[in-house]
Amino acid sequence: MLSPVSWSGGGVHIIRQTLLPDREVWVDLKTVDEVAEAIRCLDIRGAPAIGVAAALGMAQAARLYAGNDSGELIEAVEAAGDLLAGTRPTAVNLFWAIERMKKKLSDLSGRDAVGIRTGLLEEAQKIREEDIAFCKAIGEHGAQFMPDKGGILTHCNAGALATGGYGTALGVIRAAVEAGKDIRVYADETRPLLQGARLTTWELMQDKIPVTLICDNAAGHLMQLGRVQACVVGADRIAKNGDAANKIGTYSVAVLAQKHGIPFYVAAPSSTVDLSLKSGERIPIEERDGCEVTSPRDTCFAPPGVAVFNPAFDVTPNELIRAIITENGAATHPNMAKELEEMVLSTSRA
Amino acid sequence: MLSPVSWSGGGVHIIRQTLLPDREVWVDLKTVDEVAEAIRCLDIRGAPAIGVAAALGMAQAARLYAGNDSGELIEAVEAAGDLLAGTRPTAVNLFWAIERMKKKLSDLSGRDAVGIRTGLLEEAQKIREEDIAFCKAIGEHGAQFMPDKGGILTHCNAGALATGGYGTALGVIRAAVEAGKDIRVYADETRPLLQGARLTTWELMQDKIPVTLICDNAAGHLMQLGRVQACVVGADRIAKNGDAANKIGTYSVAVLAQKHGIPFYVAAPSSTVDLSLKSGERIPIEERDGCEVTSPRDTCFAPPGVAVFNPAFDVTPNELIRAIITENGAATHPNMAKELEEMVLSTSRA
């Protein structure tokens, strides 16, 4: 199974997603700085994958500390967590994974340096394995919502490449295909960084799942033509009430789906839910450099010096979402908030 | 004033829009084939500009016929019209201009070859001059609908570059700015061919009208933020009931505008109205090569061999349009169809 981030023995093993689909380059990230930079530059992206990478990065920090002083080791790991927390603001899985590793660190504080190192690596690997298992569970819960036959629109990449493996939105699609459903995926190209064009098409073509690439602009027309029976996307942070932040343009897809009476689903592990935020308005939206818009892949698209507004995410209000699918089932209206909270607590208690 | 297509004495003088904004290259197209190819490859684009170019191309055909036989001359011009009619299917101004030139040809059929040549060139130049005058009138009628202060979203390029000069949607914006309104334009980049990123920003920056480039994906988020007070776009063909075909993605903008209670306007000369079509469903939608999506500006965006759906236009139903602004005023609900028809007849009678 394709897994974009794992532990290699020598470091954090990743596929450099910015080079896809032109080149398939795998590297071992040896330092925490390298992990942080890979998250920042989007070689590692997708909320769950970022969480896994941060956890492995903290385990790597423990490994890099050569001494035997538990206190110094703990400080080094905490500093690594703080560094990684500063990479990207929107995906909450990053902070969730760092918090979980810090809690583990605290639980291990009585151990010697070797014990702490071992315990942290085990915890990071557990986060990764759980993420894959959760994606499979999301797929199982979500497949029932997919049409037996028809077109499914997805935005950005919420696939194997965005997770430990298997994917959230694409996990739902994979599970539906495995269940024998006759599905064609429509992949929004997802400007500016083209995760749909570069990554979603690539991983679905590898799995021989039928996929058609469209410009983000064509989603409405495709719905007018009756070719879309469901939409399914991932999420970077979900507020307590079900409002969901995801890649810029997701909100437009949701509004179009509503206009056409097409169900719109969000698929994400419960670690994406931020119960501390009552609604989506408070989710911090990362704004990225305008050159992503004006010069994608180093090609000039616009006049020099043009003003650019480049938000990386938007928030889809819960009323546009038919169901939020997590590893523990589907949260639906009218009790979406309550069901969502129960799913979060159910996993955190386990 | 910037005019993308005119008569140079030696041929059809155009700016090669596919090279903008990197290079500003003006050329004289000497043959009808060259004019047809320039339309096909989008060196000339924008419904009104395509109409002007076709008219000038037919005048050029008359000029290229070196003999004195009126019958042969008429045949050559008619063949040129047929060739030009095959270049692109959606913009009705193309067919409107060709029909008008054919009617002029028929009116001139009693004249000698010199008289026909002269008459056709005069008619083509009249079409161009009228188009500029109509754009100015559209601007005057449309400016009142623009906010005194605020953001105006536009999609694709319905500017000077899409017309004889001044522009339709950008004509409305220019007139609003000339009237002292404090406006910032948000230009959708308009994938796949980036007419917004490459052309709208370029011509507005030349006129020092504040413009911010966004990915098409960011339009919904921008509206959520309250930064858009009106949307104005051009059209390639408007059916009798006001349904309007325009660049792919326009429909999405209209749906988003409706969701946010933002008025959405269409600005076009009455030659864009096709009274023969009762509604927009019958407007032929051009589908273009997938490489426009996968390899814009020769840069690879997607895996080789991926399936692509690349419609060039979509249709916005009249109920999403607050007003259609032509040279004769604004057609609004509840009598949009009737007002539209009166505006078409008023110009064709003049």
pLDDT digits (tens, 9 = 90+) for A162-206: 999 999 999 999 999 999 999 999 999 999 999 999 999 999 999
Nearest CA in chain B to A156: B217
Cβ contacts below 8 Å, chain A against chain B, sum to 190
Residue contact A213–B294, C-beta within 8 A: yes
H-assigned helices in A86-183: 92-107, 113-143, 169-178
Residue A188 backbone phi and psi in degrees, to 5: -60, 135
**Among residues 238-257 of chain A, which lie with CB inside 8 Å of chain B?**
247-249, 251-252, 255-256
Chain B neighbors of A214, CB-CB under 8 A: 293, 308-310
Query: Is B276 in CB contact (< 8 Å) with chain A?
Result: no
Instruction: Give residue A320's pLDDT.
Output: 98
User: What domains are there in chain B, each with its CATH number?
Assistant: 5-136 (1.20.120.420), 138-349 (3.40.50.10470)
Q: What is the pLDDT of residues A15-38, one digit of tens each?
A: 999 999 999 999 999 999 999 999
Q: Taking a C-beta distance cutoff of 8 angstroms, is the pair A328, B215 a contact?
A: no
Instruction: Give residue A260's pLDDT.
Output: 98
Chain B neighbors of A316, CB-CB under 8 A: none
Closest CA to A156 of B194, B310, B224, B215: B215
Confidence of residue A348 (pLDDT cuts 50, 70, 90): confident
Residue contact B303–A216, C-beta within 8 A: no
CA distance B304 to chain A (A): 9
- pTM equals 0.96
Count other Cβ atoms within 10 Å, centred on residue B24.
10
ipTM of the complex, rounded to two decimals? 0.96
Q: Taking a C-beta distance cutoff of 8 angstroms, is the pair B21, B202 a contact?
A: yes
Token duo for residue B92: 């009705």
Query: Is B194 in CB contact (< 8 Å) with chain A?
Result: yes
CA distance B77 to B2: 28
CA distance B39 to A82: 56
Q: Is the pLDDT of residue B251 over 90?
A: yes
Instruction: Give residue A297's pLDDT.
Output: 85
Q: Taking a C-beta distance cutoff of 8 angstroms, is the pair B120, B100 a contact?
A: no
Residue contact A216–B216, C-beta within 8 A: yes
Nearest CA in chain B to A316: B221
Q: What is the pLDDT of residues A197-251, one digit of tens each?
A: 999 999 999 999 999 999 999 999 999 999 999 999 999 999 999 999 999 999 9
Question: What value does the mean pLDDT take over residues B174-181?
Answer: 98
Query: Is A263 in CB contact (< 8 Å) with chain B?
Result: no
Q: Which residue has the tokens 């269940």?
A: A179
Closest CA to B18 of B178, B201, B194: B194
Query: Is B197 in CB contact (< 8 Å) with chain A?
Result: yes
Chain A neighbors of B222, CB-CB under 8 A: 309
Q: CA A308 → CA A316, B54, B63, distances in Å?
A: 23, 36, 46
Chain B neighbors of A212, CB-CB under 8 A: 306-309
Instruction: Give ∠ CA A269-A270-A273 in degrees, rounded to 5.
Output: 115
Residue contact A191–B215, C-beta within 8 A: yes
Query: Is A186 in CB contact (< 8 Å) with chain B?
Result: yes
Q: Is the pLDDT of residue B275 over 90?
A: yes
Nearest to A251 among B191, B198, B220 (CB): B220
Positions of A marked active-site: 236
